[in-house]
Amino acid sequence: MALGDVDRKRAEAQSLIDAVPRVLASRSRNSREAQATLEACQAKLKGFRTHLKTLELDLADREDALSKANGNLLNAKTNQEYSLLVAEIARKREEKGAVEERILEQYEVIKQGEQMVTDAEAGLEAAKSEYGGFEERARTELAGHQKELEALDERRDQIRRSIEAEILKIYDRVYKAHGEAIVPCEGSTCQGCFSTLTPNDRNRLLSGRQLVFCKACQRILYMPEVVHASPS
């Protein structure tokens, strides 16, 4: 029973040790997602600024065309040519004004994009800070679990040296099959597989003088009342 208790505690400690890398990987996903969000926002902002440069180049071209049209107006030779140039200048001014409006709108878009990047940077910083604090605690707990496992391993070796080799073989075989080798019997029921014991096996358990196995699952059985009644 002492060996079974130690092995149960060892399994729990090992399970906690094995869980740390998985939990850390899961928690680090938040940081990776925050990083991806930041990069997406930065890419959008870059696109907004590139589009602004395109609009500014378009505006420069339209200003140049308007300047040339104004120059041509001074050289108009007939009223008809003058009227056509005036209409062309009015159209070019309207087009130039439309581009200027789009530039102003794009400045607002860029402002919003900059805010998105700022928010994403703050989100990434918060995620990293949270993960850093969690990682520190997890590493501390991991060290504690590893130390506990080392102590249990030492205790386990001591217990195993006090048990007969043949009994250890039986114990190890059952433990390998079920993950636990010793279970209580309550009433006449095996608490490992909930099979009912025969009256003869129950009487043998009550005597507390020999190993009794569950005929269904092969686990080693004991009765708590017999164990508690036995001298320590």
pLDDT digits (tens, 9 = 90+) for 91-107: 999 999 999 999 999 99
**Listed ranges 60-74, 93-107, 175-189; the one with the highest mean pLDDT:** 93-107
Task: Supply the pLDDT for residue 96.
Answer: 94
The string of pLDDT tens digits covering residues 128-162 is 998 888 888 999 999 999 999 999 999 999 999 99
Q: Name the residue with tokens 């095996």.
A: 190
**Residue-number span of the structural domain to which 79 is assigned:** 2-161
Domain-ending residue, one of 103, 136, 161? 161
Q: Is 130 found in the same domain as 23?
A: yes
* CA distances to 1, 59, 69, 94, 102 from 56, in Å: 83, 5, 20, 16, 10
The answer, as to whether pTM is greater than 0.85, is: no
Arithmetic mean of pLDDT, 173-184: 91
Task: Supply the pLDDT for residue 209.
Answer: 80
Does pLDDT of 117 surpass 90?
yes
Q: Is 193 found in the same domain as 145?
A: no
Does pLDDT of 230 surpass 80?
no
Task: Supply the pLDDT for residue 229.
Answer: 63
For residues 196 and 174, the answer to whether their CB atoms sit within 8 Å is: no
Does pLDDT of 120 surpass 80?
yes
The count of structural domains within the chain is 2
Q: What is the share, in percent, of the chain residues with pLDDT greater than 90?
A: 68
For residues 180 and 194, the answer to whether their CB atoms sit within 8 Å is: no
Contacts of 127 (CB under 8 A, 6+ apart): 30, 31, 33, 34
Does pLDDT of 164 surpass 80?
yes
Q: Is 198 found in the same domain as 154?
A: no
CATH code of the domain in which 17 resides: 1.10.287.1490
Does pLDDT of 190 surpass 70?
yes
